[in-house]
Amino acid sequence: MAAADPWNPGTDGLTPVWVVPVPILEDELISSWLTRSALAQGCDPLVLTGAVWPNWRVWTVDVDRGLPEDRLEVLIQACGVARARICKAGLEDVHRAISCRIDRSIWPWLLAYGTRNRRHRGGLQYCPRCLGGNHIPYYRRAWRLAWHTSCGNHGETLHDGCPCCSAAIEPHLLTVQAIRLDRCASCGGDLPQAEHRPLQPEALRFQQLADEVIGVGCGRFGDQTLPSREWFALARFLVALLRRVSSGKSWGLRHFLMNLDVDPSDIDFSPVLQLPLELLSTGERIQLLRPITGLLEVGVDRFIVAAREARLTRASLHSVQPNVPTVLGPLVKSLSRSNYHRQRKSMRRSEYPRAPSAVLRQCRLMHRRLARR
């Protein structure tokens, strides 16, 4: 008996219900495949998923994280695609290499859609040349990873919005008239026509390094080798450190970074966007990820020297993140405890009006928390 071919529907012994079989392409997301399948059948994505799962509003959740077993079994019977191929199109395997927790609303290092009903605020990027250069446009799994900000093949920064109306990329909202996935669901604009934006070499270096860590299961911090989960936890702590310094709340941490040859003034990042890394735009993540590779090459011994020169305390590190990564344990032990007690701030509102810049920052934050339209 011949082995089943996961690339071709029906070859695993099942008779698909769909009239037009649609194979999953290389590195394609589940959501992208479901949308292409619907358009191929001549219907909207909402119609197709409503027929497969009549009592489940699938587009109100992140299907790329994986499907429950009962939902997956129903889908296999409908499409005829092998189970292994559908599971491979999800992001669970990447998440397991990064974190052991899967019960959080936002998975670390995986872009979040910011879903409200069926609308998304972001969470999906694309390369215009990759999307437009394929005979069949589709969205890649790599475009959901928070450390991916560039396309190395085309030397371009990824886009996370429509070039015509700036709306979020929401292919699941396309109608059957769109035919292809390279159209904006809001205005019908041609996504591959986005202008060329050169990539940032430093951000690309971290992207390639993180991909390598996922591939081999471990990464380097100075002369130490860390499992992939610890490596990504350390990288996330360093991102939080950069955000803390960019907010201007700790001069000690600022001097610490300068001692490590990182100039905080080079980070053109607004500290008011108090959103998780996974909800930030591509440009904002580029600003935070550019210095990370250099910091990872330094090692804990250099961290200790730089921290002592900056006169850091343990409280300074815990202000960045309550749980400091295990690999930085020697750094924490080498620092003294805080020798002062922070006074409780008065809860009374200031009698003076707030600065215009502070009002503007709050407006920007409110805008990010709302849907883009």
Per-residue pLDDT at 370: 60
Are the CB atoms for 186 and 174 separated by under 8 Å? no
Q: Tokens representing 204?
A: 């690309």
> Which tens digit of pLDDT belongs to each residue from 271-288?
545 788 999 999 999 989
Per-residue pLDDT at 179: 87
pLDDT band at 105 (very low <50, low <70, confident <90, very high): confident
Given a cut of 80, whether residue 61 has pLDDT beyond it is yes
Are the CB atoms for 336 and 314 separated by under 8 Å? yes
- Domain edges within the chain: 30-193, 201-334
**HEC states along 189-249?**
CEHHHCCCCECCHHHHHHHHHHHHHHHHCEEEECCEEEEHHHHHHHHHHHHHHHHHHHCCC
The distance in angstroms from the start CA to the end CA of the chain is: 54
- Number of Cα atoms under 13 Å in the Cβ half of residue 241: 29
Per-residue pLDDT at 275: 82
Q: What is the mean pLDDT of residues 237-266?
A: 87
Mean pLDDT of the chain: 86
pLDDT band at 103 (very low <50, low <70, confident <90, very high): low
3-state secondary structure of 338: coil
Q: Give the least confident one: 126-135, 205-214, 264-273.
A: 264-273
Given a cut of 60, whether residue 11 has pLDDT beyond it is no
> Which tens digit of pLDDT belongs to each residue from 188-216?
999 999 999 999 999 999 999 999 999 99
Q: What is the mean pLDDT of residues 250-266?
A: 88
Q: How far is CA 364 from CA 161, 165, 265, 371, in A?
A: 17, 19, 21, 12
Q: Who has greater pLDDT, 354 or 54?
A: 54
Per-residue pLDDT at 247: 76
pLDDT band at 340 (very low <50, low <70, confident <90, very high): very low
pLDDT band at 250 (very low <50, low <70, confident <90, very high): confident
Instruction: With 0.75 as the threshold, say if the pTM is over it.
Output: yes
Q: Give the least confident one: 133-142, 217-226, 233-242, 243-252.
A: 243-252
Sign of the CA dihedral with 121 first, then 123, 128, and 130 last: negative
